Structure 1
Amino acid sequence: MKLWRRKEKTAAPSLGELIPPEGVPIHLEVAGLGVRLAAQLTDVGITLIAAVAVLILIMSLGIGTPTTLLAIGSLLFFVIRVPYYVIAELAWNGQTLGKRLMKIKVVSHDGRSLSTHALVLRNLMKEAEIFLPATLLLTLDTSSPVASGLALAWILGGLFVPLFNRHRQRLGDLMAGTHVIHLPVPVLLKDLAQAPVGETAAKTRFTFLAHQLDHYGAFELQTLETLLRAQEKRRASGPSQNDRATIESVVEKIRQKIGYANKVPEADRLKFLRAFYNAQREHLEKRQLFGERRRDKHYAVDDSSS
């Protein structure tokens, strides 16, 4: 059984939600058809310019005849275009020059790393979906309306496929298990060491001694930071009953572990945790300046190695 499948039937993932093997949903913004078309036109322009440059070089060398130049140009466009898409997306982790300019990229639909097989498949399907029918449509004349109509219908059908699936996937994406997203915008989280307005007195109200701060390491500090950030997000709505129970449990465990005698009132529990976080972080940073790193509460220095 695959790890990323849910054990029980639940609602379908929301638009832009990926379920990686770890089972933790990742929410990403699916790229729209307009920005994908702009990236595609940019890439077509780049490969067309390269093909024209090579064709001009061939003409200057006197290779070929005027009647064969169109065939040579079409072949050059194909030979340059296919490797360009595959190599670019392999080298830049799902991006071509056009996608980089439009700030979009290809990702695996199941959250795994992009495979060479998937990138080759999706780009070869692009030839069958768009470029080969378009070439056929351009080379046909009015004496073959049936062939022209079939080529046009195939192109339109391929263009309409992304409109009828949730992740805007074309045929190549559906077969390769990929889709295109907007690049996530990195957000620098607020430093928790900066006390919220009205809580600056907590630093002086709660005092921790060095031997109390020696009980915990960086792992516990990061766990506490995760809890505090979650509470920051719920600040507007206020903590729920479960949140209050969790905060109370964490406060009591810290008090017992470090031997903090004073009882912490319910209204001051978050202030206590923030003050302890600041003091613990400052303590670990000072120790690190002297080359001492405490990974977690189980860490101990091996004196025999010195």
Structure 2
Amino acid sequence: MRSPAADVRKAQRLARKDRRAERGRAASTILPPEGVPLNLPVASIGVRLAAQIADVLITTVAAVCLVILFSALELTRPQTIMAIAMLLFFVIRVPYYILSELAWNGQTLGKRFLKIKVVAHNGGSLSTHALVLRNLMKEAEIFLPGTLLLTLDQESPVASWIALAWVAMAFAIPLMNPYRQRLGDILAGTHVIHLPQPILLKDLAGEAKPMTAAKPGAKGFAFLAHQLDHYGAFELQTLETLLRAQDKFMSPDVHARNRRTVATIVEKIRQKIGFADPIPPARAVEFLRSFYNAQRAHLEQRQLFGDKRADKHHAADETPQ
């Protein structure tokens, strides 16, 4: 059996590796109305640019389809088709960004593909004013200077240099901002984050735990039915939280306090259920895992027969039929 010091050193190495992986990545703390702070990674410039390109392609395809339709219906002439195409791109683009972010709570189709979204910088709900402002500013920050760059003319170098400087400034502002906010985000009080990835925790009952190698011939723990009748679902969930905490990183001081806590809980459970054999400190966690598995199976079996036990007071709540 490995010593606690070896487990602590391994946990410290894993924690340092995680910190190196997270280094350089900005984080955002969101405080929702429930009052529970959420730490979410801020979307990088590359991811936001990819989402922007996807949205531009979507709106461009829509504009091209309308231009083809107008040409087929002979509603335009070859001399005006480019001007109509630019006008349609603008008319489609502006409502697309605003309405999609209003309908999908801060997401366009491009943002949904890249799993990012707009959030309020103060942790509150997104307002219509903020979404309209940030998307109208996008016209002045990105599309208008971009159009000027595409129409550069050697005969007007001043306008070309102004457009180039404006585009450089628009890209420099998010790079210098820890929340990667562009000018529209700063004015609207928003920034863009990565959506949190849901993680399904492992089923403790399905995890196979090896027997303690330091005790050759040691037997597992077995519990009788009457020993499992003392607790309910609430106590089972509390025990599950404690067992999951055993796999997390702990400093030496926290690890020592945790061992004392586990020993106290084991002793209380042993006395409550009438478990006669003493539990060695080295097998305290193993005892709790075995008791968790047996208690969970017992409660699930009782629930099949309509006996749902909420907590340890279930016996006092039962009324004679």
Structure 2 length-normalised TM: 0.75
Counterpart residue number, 1:20: 31
CA drift of 1:93 comes to: 4.4
Q: What's 2:98 paired with?
A: 86
State the SS of the aligned residue for 2:208.
coil
Residue 293 of structure 1: aligned partner: 308
- 1:248 paired with 2:263, answer yes
Distance in 2, Cα, partners of 1:115 & 1:198: 57
The residue that corresponds to 1:63 in the other structure is 75
User: Is contact 1:17–1:25 with CA below 8 Å preserved after alignment?
Assistant: no
Task: Confirm whether residue 195 of structure 1 aligns to residue 208 of structure 2.
Answer: yes
| CA deviation profile, 1:230-282 (whole Å, cap 9, x unmatched) | 11224998971121122123223433444445443321211121111111211
User: 1:11: which partner in 2?
Assistant: none
1:123 aligns with 2:138: no
3-state SS of the aligned residue for 1:135? helix
Q: Is this contact kept in 2: 1:215–1:258, CA < 8 A?
A: yes
Residues 265 and 16 (structure 1), Cα distance of their counterparts in 2 relative to 1, 3 Å cut:
same
Post-superposition shift, 1:108? Answer: 4.1
1:61 deviates by 2.4
Distance 1:67 1:188, change over 3 A: same
Query: For the structure 1 residues 296 and 116, does the alpha-carbon distance in structure 2 shift closer, same or farther, using more than 3 Å as the test?
Result: farther
CA distance 1:36–1:68, shift in 2 (3 Å):
same
Amino acid at match of 2:228: L
* Counterpart residue number, 1:47: 59
Partner of 1:8: none
Letter in 1 for 2:303: Q
User: 1:68-122 deviations in whole A, cap 9, x for unaligned?
Assistant: 4333222211221122223333444443332333343334445555454443333
Confirm or deny: 8 A CA contact 2:232 2:299 kept in the other structure.
yes
Deviation (angstroms), 1:218: 2.3
Cα separation, 2, equivalents of 1:89 and 1:218: 42
State how 1:24-173 maps to structure 2 within 5 Å. Answer: 24-112=36-124, 114-138=126-150, 141-173=153-185
Going from structure 1 to structure 2, the CA distance change for 1:85 and 1:214 (only over 3 Å counts) comes to farther
Q: 2:118 is paired with a residue of what secondary structure?
A: strand
Aligned residue pair count:
292
Q: 1:224 to 1:119 in 2, by over 3 A?
A: farther
2:244 aligned residue (200, 209, 229): 229
Structure 1: where are the runs of 5+ without partners? Answer: 1-13
SS at match of 1:179: strand
Q: Which residue identity does 1:288 align to in structure 2?
A: Q
Report if aligned partners of 1:18, 1:110 keep a CA contact under 8 Å in 2: no
CA–CA separation in structure 1 for the residues paired with 2:132 and 2:310: 43
Question: Is contact 1:231-1:239 (8 Å) kept?
Answer: no
After TM superposition, the score normalised by the length of structure 1 is 0.78
Q: Taking structure 1 as reference, are residues 73 and 263 closer, same or farther at Cα in structure 2, changes over 3 Å only?
A: same
Q: Provide, for residues 51-74 of structure 1, a one-character-per-residue CA deviation record: whole Å limited to 9, x for no partner.
A: 111122223323344444333222
Asked if the contact 1:213/1:280 (under 8 Å) is kept, the reply is yes
Q: SS in structure 2 opposite 1:233?
A: coil
Q: For the residues of structure 1 that align with 2:204 and 2:303, how far apart are their CA atoms?
A: 19
User: 2: CA distance between counterparts of 1:101 and 1:299?
Assistant: 49
Query: Amino acid of the residue matched to residue 276 of structure 1?
Result: F
Gaps of 5+ in 2: 1-24
Change (3 A) 1:287 1:236: farther
Name the CA shift for 1:162/1:61 in 2 (closer, same or farther; >3 Å): same
Kindly provide the CA deviation profile for residues 134-178 of structure 1, in whole angstroms up to 9, marking residues without a partner as x: 234445644444333333322221111111112222223333443
- CA 1:224–1:19 in structure 2 vs 1: closer, same or farther (change >3 Å)? farther
Instruction: State, as a whole percentage, how many aligned pairs show the same letter.
Output: 63
Offset at 1:291?
Answer: 3.2
